[in-house]
Structure 1
């Protein structure tokens, strides 16, 4: 499971209040944990039970949704940053 630490470089919400990106990252980390918990604990190369397969499939789907949400939030932040930069330099909005 990946661990990401967000270090704010601007004034934003209060330190105790997570912003949207931090919230998405936490939900993705929880989804990663669910995938790890869905994997069987004993030997390699064994066939998964149907219930284990369903649990793994559901956990993987949730992880994919959280990764998509994280990517969308990062893209939104990048677009807002570029837009702000272009308007502050007088070049207009792309």
Structure 2
């Protein structure tokens, strides 16, 4: 299966012209998903439910955070409660 087709499907953002009760952010190593969830929170004033934990892509998430130079905000926090900068 073509990975680009899957990526386009997963990245699809439909315009929403209704109110939103909840923004759900599924944990992953893609930091851009955090930015999209934050924008949806600001736009719709809806709470964010974050689902995730330590799993198969945690080391990828740690690498993404390091590349963004967020390490100083991460020191002393648990792996599941650090701030994305």
TM-score (norm 1): 0.23
TM-score (norm 2): 0.24
Q: Compare CA radii of gyration and give the structure with the larger one.
A: 1
User: Which one has a larger percent helix, Structure 1 or Structure 2?
Assistant: 1
